Amino acid sequence: MGARLLLPTFEYGTIDICNPMLQGGTYVAATGDVSPCVNLGHPTPRMMPDGSTIENSGLSFGNINEDSYETIWNNPSWEKFRDEFNNGIVPNACEGCQLLRKSEFHLTEGVETKTADLKSV
């Protein structure tokens, strides 16, 4: 019996990463607004470790009630957002997010699919 194991290819170098973005995250609010993640889908202030707050105006690339998901996903603004993030450029909208963290390793290639025999693992 085999299992599917998804392993990203990483290389050394401290950068900001966000798991929802690495996983191609999407958040659809009750209003139908589509955002890259839950934090950008809710315009609430972000509390910083020093007790200060950063305003979060939210970020939506479309509304599922008005356009298809494919149209929204291929929105040039969202494509630019994803491309910049994947190239190590953290968008202003993500500044101060608690999901954003430093990593000594970063993704260098897409997720690779491997198959392993569970008995030999």
pLDDT tops 60 at residue 1: no
Q: What angle do CA 91, 66, 60 make, to 5 degrees?
A: 15
Segment 6-16 shows an average pLDDT of 51
Confidence of residue 38 (pLDDT cuts 50, 70, 90): confident
pLDDT value for 111: 45
pLDDT tops 70 at residue 116: no
The answer to whether 28 touches 88, Cβ cutoff 8 Å, is: no
pTM above 0.75, yes or no: no
Where are the domains positioned within the chain? 9-106
pLDDT value for 12: 45
The answer to whether 19 touches 98, Cβ cutoff 8 Å, is: no
The Cα 108–Cα 105 span in angstroms is 9
Q: pLDDT for 66-80, tens place per residue? A: 999 999 999 999 999
